[in-house]
Amino acid sequence: HQRIEKRVKSGTPFFSLEFFPPKTGNGVANFITRLDRYRDGGPLFVDITWHLGSDPANLNKETSSSSIAAACLNYCRVDTMLHITGAQYSKRQTLGHLEQTKALGIRNILALRGDLHPSEDGPVVYQYRALDMIRWIREEYGDYFTVAASGYPLGHPEAPSYAADIRYLKDKVDAGAQFVITQLFFEPEVFEQFVRDCREAGITVPIIPGIMPIQSYESIRRIASLSGLTIPDAILKALEPIKENDEAVRSYGIHHAVEMCRRLLSNGSAPSIHLYTMNREGSCREILQTLGLWQQQNIRTLPWGSHCGQHPLR
Ligand code: FAD
């Protein structure tokens, strides 16, 4: 086991893949098979999301986040990061989640607040921020875990301002977050500006762009709205005439993602690419192959220069 954060900082571009836990036992079996194929591509890590209300820490459920993350690491043998949210748990519960994560052998955590869902039984009691969890991790576990934090290229929707959100991100990094994975965005300039603003604010850790390939018209509209993001007019205009044609939308999504990633990698704003897979296989694989990041290709022929040598895992 090599520490992810060392490889994140190695200067060699890589990719990582985000999945949500499948909802059924059959889904788990399919997921494991798919992950085996993804592993051939050489991701630096995969990460598994955490959903309040789905019993994410329950190891008796094969579909829980913790069970899936353990399967990725211990069965599929791929480095794994587990998302953990803390807003609606007590400190004791969160420490329990961390302890269990350690016992499963997982050493990488994306520490998150999570969304604040109103409770049916009355007001939510705990509202810890991601910062609290990062501090607890460092207090209780020293540097045992590699810790990542989330960043928002357009500012978090609840932040008092974009500038304040960057200050809060710096607090997370100062507390021990070793790299940042961003919320999705649609325009490369948005990420480039965010990186410049973070650097100006003294955030020096790697900032990895979260890229969500557009896979269907309806889903991207829904996801954008849930994330408080506006899809730029140019993209809506391009999608409008093809919105009923899933294959055409998918092709557009691949092209759009490749163009963004190529630009961000070649101009040095992004050290690597984090793909929100939405548990689908085709688009992500095609994007990575086109970019030359898929392991089975000769990545030394990358269009953006000779610094991209051997994949860090090999
Ligand atoms: P925090 O960093 O804690 O920030 C929350 C808000 O508090 C922000 O508006 C921030 O500006 C503000 N804030 C911070 N400090 C202060 C302060 N001192 N004073 C005032 N305001 C302050 N959600 C899930 O439920 N499960 C997942 O698996 C998941 N994965 C994600 C992965 C990524 C890469 C990203 C970007 C998001 C993910 N989310 C996930 C969504 C995330 O939980 C929500 O966006 C949530 O609303 C914020 O979580 P956070 O950890 O980014 O918040």
Give 34-60 pLDDT, tens digit per residue: 998 899 899 999 999 999 889 999 999
Query: From the CA of 40, how far away is ligand 1's center (Å)?
Result: 32
Residue identifier of the C-alpha nearest atom 18 of ligand 1:
168
Structure tokens at 71: 């399967």
Cβ < 6 A, ligand 1 pocket: 49-51, 83, 85, 110, 112-115, 129-131, 150, 156, 158-159, 165, 168, 181, 183, 210
Determine the average pLDDT of the residues in 190-204: 98
Query: Which amino acid makes up residue 81?
Result: M
One DSSP character per residue, 261-275 reads: HHHHHHTTS-SSEEE
Residue identifier of the C-alpha nearest atom 42 of ligand 1:
114
- Contact criterion met (CB below 8 Å) for 171 and 203: no
Residue 50 Cα: closest atom of ligand 1: 28
In the DSSP assignment, the letter for residue 50 is: -
Give this complex's ipTM: 0.99
Query: From the CA of 86, how far away is ligand 1's center (Å)?
Result: 10
Residue identifier of the C-alpha nearest atom 16 of ligand 1:
168
What sign does the dihedral 112-113-116-122 (CA atoms) show? positive
Can you give the pLDDT at residue 312? 34
Give 238-275 pLDDT, tens digit per residue: 999 999 999 999 999 999 999 999 999 999 999 999 99
Average pLDDT, the chain: 90
Residue identifier of the C-alpha nearest atom 43 of ligand 1:
114
Can you give the pLDDT at residue 51? 93
Residue 151 Cα: closest atom of ligand 1: 36
Can you give the pLDDT at residue 299? 40
Residue 169 Cα: closest atom of ligand 1: 2
Top pLDDT among 119 and 143 is at: 143
Can you give the pLDDT at residue 311? 33
Query: From the CA of 159, how far away is ligand 1's center (Å)?
Result: 9
Burial of 120 (0-12, 13-18, 19+ CB in 10 A): exposed
Residue identifier of the C-alpha nearest atom 7 of ligand 1:
159
How far apart are alpha carbons 70 and 58 in whole angstroms? 12
Residue 183 Cα: closest atom of ligand 1: 36
Pick the catalytic residue from 18, 192, 200, 240.
18
3-state secondary structure of 53: coil
Query: From the CA of 150, how far away is ligand 1's center (Å)?
Result: 7
Query: From the CA of 310, how far away is ligand 1's center (Å)?
Result: 34
Can you give the pLDDT at residue 124? 61
> What is the pLDDT confidence band of residue 286, given thresholds at 50, 70 and 90?
very high
Q: Does the pLDDT at position 297 exceed 80?
A: no
Measured N-to-C along each axis, helices 65-74 and 25-40 cross at an angle, to the nearest 10 degrees, of 40
* Predicted TM-score (pTM) above 0.95: no
- Measured from the Cβ of residue 200, the count of other Cβ atoms closer than 10 Å reads 9
3-state secondary structure of 68: helix
How far apart are alpha carbons 210 and 213 in whole angstroms? 10
Query: From the CA of 121, how far away is ligand 1's center (Å)?
Result: 23
Give 58-99 pLDDT, tens digit per residue: 999 999 999 999 999 999 999 999 999 999 899 999 999 999
Q: Which of the listed residues 94, 156, 277 should we mutate to test ligand 1's pocket, taking the one with most ligand atoms within 8 A of CB?
A: 156
Q: Which of the listed residues 55, 129, 183 should we mutate to test ligand 1's pocket, taking the one with most ligand atoms within 8 A of CB?
A: 129
Active-site residue 281, yes or no?
no
- Measured from the Cβ of residue 119, the count of other Cβ atoms closer than 10 Å reads 10
Phi, then psi, of 77 in degrees rounded to 5: 60, 45
Distances (CA, A) of 147 to 6, 44, 84, 116: 12, 15, 11, 22
